Structure 1
Amino acid sequence: MNTAPPHQQAALLRRYQHRIHRVPRNLVVQPTGFCNLDCTYCYLPDRDDKTPMPTAVAEAVARSASELVGGHHRKPLGLIWHAGEPLALGRRRFTELLQPFEELRRKGLLEHAVQTNATLIDDEWCDLLTEYGFRVGVSIDGPKDLTLRRTDRRGRPAFDRIMRGVERLQHRGVPFSLIAVVSRENITHPDRLLDFLAALRPVSIGLNIEESEGVNTERHPPTREQAIEFWLKVLAWSRRQPGGTAPVRELERLGRYLRMSRTQRADRAHLSRVDPLPTIARNGDVFLLSPELAGITAPTYNDFRAGNVLEQPISAILREAHRLSYVGEFLTGLEECESTCEFFDYCRGSQAGNRYFEHQTFAVAETDYCRVTEQAPVLALADTVRKERTT
Structure 2
Amino acid sequence: MVDTLMQVGVVMGVSMSALEAAHTSSARFDRFVSRRFGVVVLQPTTLCPWACDYCYLPSKDQRLEMLPSTAAAVAASIEAQGGPDVVEVVWHGGEPLTAGVERFRALLEPFEPLRARGRVRYTVQTGGGLITQPWCDLFARYGFTVGVSIDGPEWANAARHDRSGRPAHARIMRGIRTLLDCGVRFTAIAVVTGDTITRPDEIADFFETLGADSVGFNLEEYEGANTNRPPIDAAAARTFWRALLKRRLDGSPLRVRELYRLLGFVRQSRGPSSARSGPALYEPIPTVAWNGDTVILSPELAGVRSKEYGDFVIGNVLRETLPAMLARADKARYVDEFTQALTACAESCEFYAFCLGAQAGNRYFEHGDFSAPETQYCTNTRQELVRALGELIEEAP
Q: How many residues align?
A: 382
Letter paired with 1:200: L
**What is the CA-CA distance between 1:300 and the residue it aligns to?**
2.0
Partner residue of 2:130 out of 105, 111, 120: 120
Partner residue of 1:276?
Answer: 284
Partner residue of 2:112 out of 94, 102, 111: 102
Partner residue of 2:242?
Answer: 232
Provide the C-alpha distance between the structure 2 equivalents of 1:324 and 1:270, rounded to a whole number of angstroms: 26
1:145 aligns with 2:158: no
CA contact (8 A) 1:330 1:362 kept: yes
**What is the CA-CA distance between 1:279 and the residue it aligns to?**
0.2
Decide whether aligned partners of structure 1 residues 264 and 30 sit closer, same or farther in structure 2, where only a CA change above 3 A counts.
farther
Map residues 209-228 of structure 1 onto 2, 5 A cutoff.
209-228=219-238
Q: Tell me, what secondary structure is at the counterpart of 2:130?
A: coil
Provide the C-alpha distance between the structure 1 equivalents of 2:263 and 2:41, rounded to a whole number of angstroms: 26
Partner residue of 2:103?
Answer: 93
Provide the C-alpha distance between the structure 2 equivalents of 1:198 and 1:172, rounded to a whole number of angstroms: 20
1:58 aligns with 2:71: yes
1:310 aligns with 2:286: no
Provide the C-alpha distance between the structure 1 equivalents of 2:305 and 2:356, rounded to a whole number of angstroms: 28
1:6 aligns with 2:16: no
1:17 aligns with 2:30: yes
Partner residue of 1:178?
Answer: 188
Gaps of 5+ in 1: none
TM-score (norm 1): 0.95
Partner residue of 2:377?
Answer: 369
The worse-fitting range, judged by mean Cα deviation, of 150-159 and 298-307 is: 298-307
Partner residue of 2:197?
Answer: 187
Decide whether aligned partners of structure 1 residues 307 and 267 sit closer, same or farther in structure 2, where only a CA change above 3 A counts.
farther
Decide whether aligned partners of structure 1 residues 171 and 276 sit closer, same or farther in structure 2, where only a CA change above 3 A counts.
same
Provide the C-alpha distance between the structure 1 equivalents of 2:337 and 2:275, rounded to a whole number of angstroms: 25
1:357 aligns with 2:370: no
Letter paired with 1:34: L
Supply the RMSD in Å over aligned alpha carbons: 1.4
Provide the C-alpha distance between the structure 2 equivalents of 1:135 and 1:387, rounded to a whole number of angstroms: 39
Partner residue of 2:84?
Answer: 73
Partner residue of 1:38?
Answer: 51
Partner residue of 1:156 out of 152, 155, 166: 166
CA contact (8 A) 1:336 1:364 kept: no
Map residues 192-271 of structure 1 onto 2, 5 A cutoff.
192-242=202-252, 245-264=253-272, 270=278
CA contact (8 A) 1:201 1:246 kept: no
Segments of 4+ in structure 1 off by > 3 A?
264-271
Decide whether aligned partners of structure 1 residues 301 and 319 sit closer, same or farther in structure 2, where only a CA change above 3 A counts.
same
Q: Tell me, what secondary structure is at the counterpart of 1:80?
A: strand
Q: Tell me, what secondary structure is at the counterpart of 1:206?
A: strand
Partner residue of 2:11?
Answer: none
**What is the CA-CA distance between 1:221 and the residue it aligns to?**
2.5
Partner residue of 2:10?
Answer: none
Partner residue of 1:294?
Answer: 302
**What is the CA-CA distance between 1:239 and the residue it aligns to?**
2.0
Pick the structure with greater CA Rg: 2
The worse-fitting range, judged by mean Cα deviation, of 42-51 and 266-275 is: 266-275
Provide the C-alpha distance between the structure 1 equivalents of 2:67 and 2:75, rounded to a whole number of angstroms: 13
Q: Tell me, what secondary structure is at the counterpart of 1:241?
A: coil
Q: Deviations over 1:248-304 (max 9, x none)?
A: 000000011101111155675656210000000001000000000011111322210
Partner residue of 2:41?
Answer: 28
Provide the C-alpha distance between the structure 1 equivalents of 2:102 and 2:197, rounded to a whole number of angstroms: 39
Letter paired with 2:245: L
Partner residue of 1:323?
Answer: 331
Letter paired with 2:35: R
TM-score (norm 2): 0.94
Gaps of 5+ in 2: 1-14
Identical-residue share of aligned pairs (%): 43
Provide the C-alpha distance between the structure 1 equivalents of 2:272 and 2:309, rounded to a whole number of angstroms: 39
Provide the C-alpha distance between the structure 2 equivalents of 1:318 and 1:266, rounded to a whole number of angstroms: 31
Q: Deviations over 1:307-366 (max 9, x none)?
A: 000110011000000101101100111011112211111111111000001111111211
Provide the C-alpha distance between the structure 1 equivalents of 2:112 and 2:131, rounded to a whole number of angstroms: 22
CA contact (8 A) 1:332 1:364 kept: no
Q: Tell me, what secondary structure is at the counterpart of 1:315?
A: helix
Decide whether aligned partners of structure 1 residues 371 and 258 sit closer, same or farther in structure 2, where only a CA change above 3 A counts.
same
Provide the C-alpha distance between the structure 1 equivalents of 2:27 and 2:273, rounded to a whole number of angstroms: 23
CA contact (8 A) 1:209 1:221 kept: no
CA contact (8 A) 2:204 2:254 kept: no
